[in-house]
Amino acid sequence: MKTTNKLTTGIQSLICTFLPVTLLHAGNKVETTKIKQPNVLFIVVDDWGAQDLSFAGSRFYETPNIDRLAGQSTSFSNAYVAYPRSVPSRYSLWTGMHCARPQGLKGTEADERKIDKNTLAIAEPFKAAGYNTFFIGKWHLATDDCLPQDKGFEVNIGGGHAGATSSHFAPFNQNYKDNSRGEGGLIEGMDDAAPGEYLTDYMTRKTVEYIKTKRDKPFLAVVSFYAVHTPIQAKKEMIAKYQAKKISLGLTEDGYIPEEAGERKAQQNNAVYAAMVESVDQGVGKLVDALKESGQYDNTLIVIVSDNGGLSNRGAGNKRELATNNDPYKAGKGHLYEGGIKTPLLIHLPAQTNAGKSDVLTAGYDLFPTVAQLCDVKVDKKLDGRSLAPVLNGNSKVFAKRELYWHKSAERPASTGDYVSTAIRMGNYKLIDFYEQDRIELYDLSKDVSESTNIAAKKPKITRRMLAKIQNWRNEMNVNMPKKNNKKNK
């Protein structure tokens, strides 16, 4: 695994302050000085694919502010989520635990995870360490007595049961049609939005106000955008811009490619979705500006990530609007192919001025232990995640032999066209076990990032070895399996 990162002395000083490592700069030891604990700005974009930003190569989407921040951050080219859907993925983000571990809550689906009174969540140790804590946006992990304010967040704006907004324009609950969760499905705490205010703009505005509030403690601020999740809605003037760009680029109308239980969108050409992406980018720009204007940018750790891959697939006969295309990665949200589990990940360290790149294998559950270590926050629990602090410090060797595992015991073939499966990534090889279909797929991602050529039959020894690892891991984790399958490790 490779990591390249030209760190400034300020960044090195911060890391050396909190980590038991020695860094070199220009051939000499860095002199470390004790500085105050950094702030943390943690940004999550909903359903944001790995290719849904311009610095990743998109010629349709525009993300100049995120691109600029990437120039002062470490970007991870092998950043994965723990699960290709929102709830389990976010559970892993905020707990540092693998969502494949069964939780045993009554009334939840096979892969559902909720944060309850027995769950350690990220804000709790930060609050105990003297941090002010703030949450705004999508939580989607609530039990009746465990909203963000019950798990260490002093301020909670809009975080509850809701997994999506009914409208991206205020009032955000207008025409709400999901009655399955009763009032618990509504977004609460955003009643002060101006009529017609765009939800991404509202969340940005409230966070800017929080950042600029004077305080004598560092803060942990989580901005969990409801964008770019459906409904696909954006501001008219921005939509017009991308409709014109679509024509100028010669992009055609929608085409679809058969894939798994349905089809996937063939290209990035949705002007409304492109406008949603740009609104998020503008929000990120305003948050960074607020940090700079308040003199806090050089003492703030910034993380930007998604909760799963972009919405690119739908089941056969399903005419739902699709948002994006994740090429060169296969499939998207709901799938254990690369398009469903690979996402953007940027980590900006305080005082960082140059870009770094890393290809180490990371998972969503790594981010909790990472920010905790960088902020010298003690976590009194063994987490599944591993701190990426050594990687940010230029030492990727500790991740060289890492293996990652994913497991799905729920499928949505009619919705997103996916099947139950378990996957492992080991080095450049990735194996997916579609255990209900007796189908094994093996790919060499160094040669076939699009997962287009199944080499399982050509590599029987590697296939058997990786499948055995999957079977052992499923047994060790005691994962949920579909009820119709009575064999845990098959």
CATH number of the domain residue 211 falls in: 3.40.720.10
CA atoms within 13 A on the CB side of 8: 14
Q: What is the dihedral of CA 481, 483, 488, 490, to 10 degrees?
A: -90
pLDDT tens, 202-241?
999 999 999 999 999 999 999 999 999 999 999 999 999 9
Q: For residue 121, give the nearest of 343, 372, 308, 362 by alpha carbon.
A: 372
Q: Where are the alpha helices (DSSP H) in 100-235?
A: 123-128, 199-211
Residues 392 and 407 placed together within one structural domain of the fold = no
B/e letters for 103-124, b = 16+ CB within 10 Å, e = fewer, are beeeeeeebbbbbbeebbbbbb
Q: Per the structure block, which two tokens stand in for 402?
A: 């890492």
| Pairing relationship of beta strands 39-45 and 74-76 according to DSSP bridges | unpaired
Asked, for residue 292, whether it belongs to a domain, the answer is yes
Asked, for residue 22, whether it belongs to a domain, the answer is no
Residues 386 and 412 placed together within one structural domain of the fold = no
Residues 214 and 232 placed together within one structural domain of the fold = yes
Q: Which residues pair with 374 in a beta bridge?
A: none
| Pairing relationship of beta strands 439-444 and 429-434 according to DSSP bridges | antiparallel
- How far from 55 is each of 87, 207, 227, 435, CA to CA, in Å? 28, 25, 19, 37
The residues of the chain scoring below 50 in pLDDT are 5-35, 178-184, 485-490
Domain boundary (339, 366, 399) is at: 399
Domain boundary (383, 399, 415) is at: 399
Residues 394 and 413 placed together within one structural domain of the fold = no
Amino acid in position 444: D
Residues 208 and 281 placed together within one structural domain of the fold = yes
Domain boundary (399, 430, 447) is at: 399
Residues 460 and 382 placed together within one structural domain of the fold = no
**Looking at residue 399, what is its pLDDT?**
94
Residues 308 and 445 placed together within one structural domain of the fold = no
Q: Where are the alpha helices (DSSP H) in 249-270?
A: none
As a whole number of angstroms, the distance between CA 428 and CA 421 comes to: 19
**Looking at residue 2, what is its pLDDT?**
58
Asked, for residue 260, whether it belongs to a domain, the answer is yes
Residues 394 and 423 placed together within one structural domain of the fold = no
Enclosing domain of residue 443: 403-477
Residues 340 and 433 placed together within one structural domain of the fold = no
Asked, for residue 137, whether it belongs to a domain, the answer is yes
Structural domains counted in the chain: 2
Place of tokens 């929080």: 210
Q: For residue 172, give the nearest of 153, 155, 156, 194 by alpha carbon.
A: 194
Q: Per the structure block, which two tokens stand in for 228?
A: 């770019």
Q: Per the structure block, which two tokens stand in for 209?
A: 């106000």
Task: Record the pTM.
Answer: 0.91
DSSP-based three-state secondary structure for 214: coil
Please state, as a whole number, how many other Cβ atoms lie within 10 Å of the Cβ of residue 348: 23
As a whole number of angstroms, the distance between CA 61 and CA 48 comes to: 12
**Looking at residue 186, what is its pLDDT?**
78
**Looking at residue 176, what is its pLDDT?**
56
Q: CA geometry: angle at 273 spanning 271 and 279, to 5°?
A: 105
Structural contact between residues 307 and 42, judged by C-beta atoms closer than 8 angstroms: no
Structural contact between residues 90 and 80, judged by C-beta atoms closer than 8 angstroms: no
Asked, for residue 131, whether it belongs to a domain, the answer is yes
Residues 241 and 386 placed together within one structural domain of the fold = yes
Residues 312 and 419 placed together within one structural domain of the fold = no
Residues 315 and 335 placed together within one structural domain of the fold = yes
Tell me: cis bond preceding 228? Omega within 30 of 0 counts: yes
- The CATH number given to whatever domain includes residue 466 is 3.30.1120.10
Radius of gyration of the chain (CA): 22
**Looking at residue 110, what is its pLDDT?**
84
> What kind and span of H or E run contains 78?
none
Segment 237-243 long-range contacts (CB within 8 Å, at least 24 positions apart)? 238/275, 238/278, 238/279, 239/271, 239/272, 239/275, 241/275, 242/60, 242/271, 242/272, 242/274, 242/275, 242/278, 243/271
Q: CA geometry: angle at 309 spanning 329 and 422, to 5°?
A: 80
Q: Which residues pair with 135 in a beta bridge?
A: 156, 222
